Structure 1
Amino acid sequence: MPKLSDDELLNALGVEQEIAKKSSYSPREERIITGFEEIQRFVERYGRTPQQGEDSDVFERLFAVRLGRILEQEECQVLLASLDYQGILNKAVIDHVDPLKSLDDDDLLAELVGNAGHSSITELRHVRSHVEIQAAEEIAKREKCEDFDRFRSLFELTEREINSGIRQTRPFSNDASVNEGNFFILGGQLVYVAEKGDEFKAPNGHPDARLRVIYSNGTESNLLLRSLQRALYKDEAGRRLTEPDLGPLFSETLDEDDVESGTIYVLRSMSDHPFVAEHRKLIHKIGVTGGKVETRIANAAHAATYLLADVEVIASYKLAGINRTKLESIFHRIFAPAQLDLTIHDRFGRPVRPKEWFLVPLHVIDEAVCRIRDGSITNVVYDPKTACLVSIAQ
């Protein structure tokens, strides 16, 4: 049998040959087209062209910059005319951006693709960059937080602080920093930065760090700082939570939620629950009232918040001109690490997790009240390991 050539063998097998077509675009044109395709995807998603408004996120502003530069250069419009199936080049209205006038051709190309240095003709189109894909995967990759009980009370406290106005929400773009202890809202969930590793330089030269991030749904992820930043930028509802503004506890003028003469009270439960009985002298409920403590606890045995048992008043402290909400938030913040994690069933058989009960010695509560009086209370937090109030960094 005569030896067949490669072409003859393919013909014998019925395989059609296709000559690989080389791109007719130069590397420069490829980069311009790639930048324009990202703008097209934005228009498909939002039904409008990107704008430079103050409410626009960083990505929309970048797309607006690209489109503005395209409209300023006739050669770009000629190149993209056949690809513009949405008519973007005809209907776009872009805010004028003076600083871009100083860009040279290389800077312009970097703006058009959003990534300087990617000039290879083999760069794939319609495919996100490796950095974008990696960031999205890191955000999506979550695992169950095995020690979520450590953070549960902190999330609950933060939600109360948001509802009471002690914490405010701010657009992330106003402050893009990320530090240990920060709270954010991402994808409709509270996000807490529990740990931040040592900083290092990313391939693009920007500082980065590995984070341990806890989510309010009981999951966590180990992701890069810049990945979290990108996710917050892209989320239109992404927000930063401000630090608690506890304000003055005592003032000459009283707000609506203040009381002229108030009482901080400390209760001890008479419950026969095994755990409560074992730690009775350590488990305390701390509250604030503008009325009589006795009236407040009259029906304790029928209320889940009092562990469905009678209570004993073991300490009370009189104060004047107190902002009740802020004062209770201070107590909750200080003793959050020692909040009692106990679930009981109310008289209807429904599970209830009472709040405001803490595993704290009475002498530590005494010290906290003294610190309230001298104004040093906001500088400390309770350390369960040493059973002491310890200073925190300001």
Structure 2
Amino acid sequence: MSNKKKISLDDIFNDDDFSLLDAKQKASNIKTADQRLIDSFEELNAFVDKNCREPNTSSMSEYSLLARLKNIRENEEQKIALKPYDRHNLLGEVEMPKIAIEDILDDDEFGLLSTDSDLSIFKYKHIPKEDERAEADFVAQRKSLTEEEFQPYEKMFQKVHQEIKDGKRKILPFNNIEKNLHVGDFYLIDGLMLYLKEANLEKTVWEQKSGNRERIEGRTFTIFENGTYSNMLYRSLGKQIQKSGKLITNTYEDINNELYVNSGMVKEEDVQTGWVYILRAKSTHPEISTIKDLYKIGFSSTPIDERIKNAKNEATYLFADVIKVESFAIYNRNADKLEQLLHRFFASACLNIDLYNDKGQRATPREWFVVPLEVIREAIGMIINEKIINYKYDTENKRIIEK
């Protein structure tokens, strides 16, 4: 019998003094299909960043991008994959797949989530759900005002109803309580109008496994158009509006008076940072003069009249004089950021035209938009109220809609 020791593979690898058997994995330069798809979509985003509009058929390069966008829009799987990267809402509404608890449990191949224990101790039978608490708070705490107390508010409600009828205010969906529930605003619950007069609010910290989270809590003083009032909780009121109500937008006059930060009046210490303005073209150019609802939305750090006095010689004003429609003095706020936000919001309605002056110089203005004046006013108000993030502009129907 041989006494020679058998050599294993481990012995061979361990005795490799010169590392001849080491194999370094080469880094692959090949992109996955998902990476290529995302890169392709980012080219579309970059185009909109630069041009404030979607690609069209004006050139071969744009036609290629337009065809790519059309193909993506027709492919539900690609839309789902790309929606997180869709910063210009090019894909519209995308129904994202929802993962149910049952799906997680059914996919538990190793039984890690299964248990034979009785979980009934976690089922609280006598504690109402948050929505139930909100509804109980809403109903139980309403009390009647005297006729004398209610009289000034009754006139307010009548005025708001008339402003809705005249189109000065709109009724829109309500979501995101902390962004949309403000003192001084009007709302509807089950068709009943209410006015949030006061709110004694403070930030509280909720401890969660994923980290601490701040939320606003406190009592409100809310007046209803039927002559009752309530001191219900801020979040309870918000949940009731979410469940069966709407928000009522402010009027243009209110917006014009409140276009500054955290103040009901302009104070001495407030700093004016510029003007956001709306202009209408006086151009006689046939491609311009026939366009309805064409407005320039811009920002100026100097008074508007001074800024536009040389308009007919500047490409940004379409080489023509302009009419000042509106201007808003901005306080304590980065006015050019407000301008950029408006441009991004109305990007799909950006004017796409090349103009030439008498010297043959070409200009492609990017601050003119084909949008009704009342819609521009509405958007400015929604930006000031921080509600704009929940909405988008519907170019086809020329109105603001919920995302």
**TM-score by structure 1 length?**
0.41
- Give the alignment's TM-score, normalised by structure 2: 0.40
